[in-house]
Chain A
């Protein structure tokens, strides 16, 4: 099973490399293919951080325009997925910085009432086929989305995006110690809320 998954991943990376190379030469169809492959991924990453569907959509468009304008000079030292993910996160963090200067954070937290639907993309995996597991993952994501920004963003960057503590500290301009503490607290909060939800059922 794991071998199949890693083979699939390797094939995907090769496909990406081909599409990126074609896009660098100005092949618009290849670039559109990249958009089709990664638009939901970019949108999801932006939505997790910004918690606003319209803003996530704007960021998605902005990110792809940036990629479109700069892909010619992309050397491919990291995978396309990593590149576009980091670009999305950077763009979102910039937006949050501007937002935090203009809005009251508490207000933005209370006004979060977005509805959204999760799609599991790796259904070859047996674990993901399990209904209970899928429901728990949805619950975990809902709890993450309800967390305060100071907990939510470091946790998303660390546990969903694979950023190092050092990178997160640099991005959100907080000391590493604070980042580690906030991630630890966020995980504890998720566990407590999960337990509470289970006991209610």
Chain B
């Protein structure tokens, strides 16, 4: 499995040579003829995605939803740290009381 993961990782940097070698020129040419009709391409699906990709709140909640384990671990760590800090405060104030 490790090997497969290694090959898949490399495969992320692979591109396919388009059949039409001048695909860039074709796209650039197409862009010169963009008109009002092309705005129909910006359909509901696109607008929905666009709105989400421009929302900090949405991206933040997505990150949390995609990493529930990490968020839980972080929450537990914060709780433990706070508990430890409280304990430290308590013991130091008890020490001062004895003095």
- A contacts, CB < 8 Å to B: 31-32, 35-36, 39-41, 43-44, 47-48, 53, 56-57, 60-62, 64-66, 68-70, 73-75, 77-78, 83, 86-87, 90, 94, 116-122, 125, 127-128, 133, 136-137, 140-141, 159-160, 164, 166-167, 187, 190-191, 194
Inter-chain contacts of A187 with B (CB < 8 A): 1, 4
Known: A90-B46, A125-B10. 9 other contacts (CB 8 A): A40-B16, A62-B41, A69-B34, A69-B38, A69-B39, A70-B46, A77-B56, A77-B59, A191-B4
Of the candidates B15, B34, B42, B45, the one having the most CB atoms from chain A within 10 angstroms of its own CB is B15
CB–CB A137/B4 < 8 A? no
CB distance from A196 to the nearest CB of B (A): 14
Inter-chain contacts of B45 with A (CB < 8 A): 90, 94
CB–CB B14/A40 < 8 A? no
Inter-chain contacts of A141 with B (CB < 8 A): 11, 14
CB–CB B7/A136 < 8 A? yes
Of the candidates A36, A127, A140, A167, the one having the most CB atoms from chain B within 10 angstroms of its own CB is A140
The total of interchain contacts (Cβ-Cβ below 8 angstroms) comes to 139
Inter-chain contacts of B24 with A (CB < 8 A): 35-36, 39
CB–CB A87/B49 < 8 A? yes
CB–CB B31/A70 < 8 A? no
CB–CB B14/A44 < 8 A? yes
CB distance from B8 to the nearest CB of A (A): 5
Who on chain B is nearest to A116 by CB? B16
CB–CB B19/A53 < 8 A? yes
CB–CB A140/B16 < 8 A? no
B26 adjacent to chain A (CB < 8 Å): yes
- Given A60-B23, A62-B41, A141-B11, A119:B16 Cβ within 8 A: yes
- Given A78-B53, A90-B46, A187-B4, A69:B41 Cβ within 8 A: yes
CB–CB A44/B15 < 8 A? yes
- Given A60-B27, A119-B15, A140:B66 Cβ within 8 A: no
Q: Which of A48, A65, A77, A116 is within 8 Å of B38, CB to CB?
A: A65
Q: What's the Cα separation between A77 and B54 when bound, in Å?
A: 6
